[in-house]
Amino acid sequence: MKPINVGLLGIGTVGGGTFTVLARNAEEIARRAGRPIRITVVADKNLELANKITQGKCRVTDDAFSVVSDPEVDIVIELIGGYGVAKELVLKAIANGKHVVTANKALLATHGNEIFKAAQDKGVMVAFEAAVAGGVPIIKAVREGLAANRIEWIAGIINGTTNFILSEMREKGLGFGAALKDAQRLGYAEADPTFDIEGVDAAHKITILSALAFGTPMQFERAYIEGISKLDAKDIKYAEQLGYRIKLLGITRRTPDGVELRVHPTLVPARRLIANVEGAMNAVLVQGDAVGATLYYGKGAGAEPTASAVIADLVDVTRLHTADPQNRVPHMAFQPNQLVALPILPMTEVQTCFYLRLRVQDEPGVLADITRVLADEKISIDAMLQKEPGEGEYEADLVLLTHLTREKRINQAIARIEKLPVVVGKVTRIRMEELGK
């Protein structure tokens, strides 16, 4: 059978891995797809690198637009990244009737609604398994494997850089800055790690998962985003003493009032499997009404793990290449005319439990003053950890864990607590999730 011809845009880490794995496993992949899949052209600004990797096995060009207009190309793989030229190239490929495979979570989270509509109108597919959690097949699981379920919530460690940093802080007692330097030295963090450490990368990914889970359009601009750069090593230590671990989680939950869409550091009970995911690994926990909790774990980045997802999409697109567009799996899991723009809850309306750390003066009546404020705001205490002041010190750390409360209540309580004369400085607040039923 005639091979499927693929144009590859970008042959960096993931592009190089895709070219290598596709060549190495060509026979196995063809047996799965029903026909050979071959990369016939590669576009990259670095022609020297492209020629080195391809070794004359396909055409190489520095003009990506010529690839998306090439009548011989059936599928375009976009691995350039970013919002600018990548969007132009993807929309041009779709307009030219080509299927697209992409790992570009930022592009889909911000422009996915436009891209999927264009693909639907043209009758082509946009596949994006590699956009979330690298080699972990979470897109297929949510979109297809759990199709019988009303998905209730998703919580995921979906950024390996931040998970590595938090693991280093916990295991070695490092401060955030030192752990970040370790991550950069080992290649887990970029020279400019802002997107990772401030939670933006994870927010792109949870936006995609939320849309697939609940049948809504992409609403990245409404996500609440908080990173890990302000985390203190002592909070990781105190959390451990209370039976918790701190993870940067992307969380989306269906509620009667709307959808929660948020990224932030989170205390998770140490007994949960997801709390024990260490290093640069990813894990996504999905709660469905029929199946219960399912956990997906694996490498969230890297050349060949991400290439695994890219090539899985190539196989899917090849299998369905000639299928009636109406009988393909919908891009957004739900039929296009069945998407509902559910409201995204403002963070002030989200309900969670909280970890509060206060620096207080070591004198009688301190706890009574603080608990009085919490009681006024109808916030109850679940657990407490009181550290003795060091020798010659007159201040101590007080850690409180609260029961479930609305965020606006805790904000009001913190504002009042910080004004108490017995409280020194700002209150540290970290949200908590049980991640049980």
Domains in the chain with CATH codes: 4-134+303-338 (3.40.50.720), 138-299 (3.30.360.10), 347-432 (3.30.70.260)
Please check the confidence at residue 116 and state whether its pLDDT lies above 90.
Answer: yes
Which pLDDT value is given to residue 33?
96
Angle at 276 between CA 271 and CA 279, to 5 degrees: 165
Cα–Cα nearest to 331, from 211, 203, 154, 222: 211
pLDDT at 323 over 90: no
Task: Over range 6-16, report the average pLDDT.
Answer: 97
421 pLDDT exceeds 70? yes
Question: Which region, left, alpha or beta, applies to residue 425 given φ > 0 means left and ψ of -120 to 50 means alpha?
Answer: left
Candidates 430, 421, 412, 426; CA nearest to 369 is 421
> Does the structure show a pLDDT above 80 at 392?
no
Name the active-site residue from 140, 205, 247, 299. Answer: 205
User: Within 13 Å, how many C-alpha atoms sit on residue 306's CB side?
Assistant: 28
157 by DSSP, 3-state: which? strand
Question: SS3 for 56?
Answer: coil
Q: For residue 80, what pLDDT is reported?
A: 96
pLDDT at 146: 98
pLDDT digits (tens, 9 = 90+) for 179-226: 999 999 999 999 999 999 999 999 999 999 999 999 999 999 999 999
Residue 343 is predicted with a pLDDT of: 96
User: What is the CA angle 265-267-271, rounded to 5?
Assistant: 135
Q: Is 427 helix (H, G, I), strand (E, B) or coil?
A: strand
Cα 274 to chain centroid distance, Å, stands at 14
Average pLDDT, the chain: 96
Res. 111: pLDDT tops 90: yes
Element at 357 (helix H, strand E) = strand 351-361
For the stretch 256-274, pLDDT in tens is: 999 999 999 999 999 999 9
Question: What's 2's DSSP letter?
Answer: P
pLDDT reported for residue 145? 97
Rg (CA), the chain: 24
Q: Provide the b/e sequence for 150-181 (b: ≥16 CB within 10 Å).
A: ebbbbbbbbbbbbbbbbbbbbeeebebeebbe
Nearby residues of 392 by Cβ (< 8 Å), 6 or more positions away: none
> Which letter does DSSP use for residue 223 in this model?
-
CB atoms within 10 A of CB 368: 9
Residue 295 reports pLDDT greater than 80:
yes
pLDDT band at 419 (very low <50, low <70, confident <90, very high): very high
Burial 268-302 (b: 16+ CB within 10 A, else e): bbeebebbebbebbbbbbbbbeeeebeebbbbbbb
Question: Of 57-66, 141-150, 246-255, 326-335, where does mean pLDDT reach its minimum?
Answer: 326-335
What pLDDT shows up at residue 81? Answer: 93
Using one digit for the tens of pLDDT, what is the confidence trace for 346-377? 999 999 999 999 999 988 889 999 999 999 99
Where residue 437 falls among pLDDT bands split at 50, 70, 90? Answer: low
Active site residue 205: yes
State the maximum Cα–Cα separation within the chain, in Å, rounded to a whole number. 83
Of 154, 59, 374, 73, residue with least CA distance to 89: 73
pLDDT at 1: 81
pLDDT classification of 391: cutoffs 50, 70, 90 = confident
Pinpoint the alpha helices (H) of 160-260: 160-172, 176-185, 194-197, 200-214, 233-241
Report how far residue 136's alpha carbon sits from residue 192's, in angstroms, rounded to the nearest whole number: 25
Q: Over the stretch 42-78, which tens digit does the pLDDT of each residue have?
A: 999 999 999 999 999 999 999 999 999 999 999 999 9
What local confidence, expressed as pLDDT, does residue 326 receive?
83
Percent of the chain scoring above 90 in pLDDT: 94
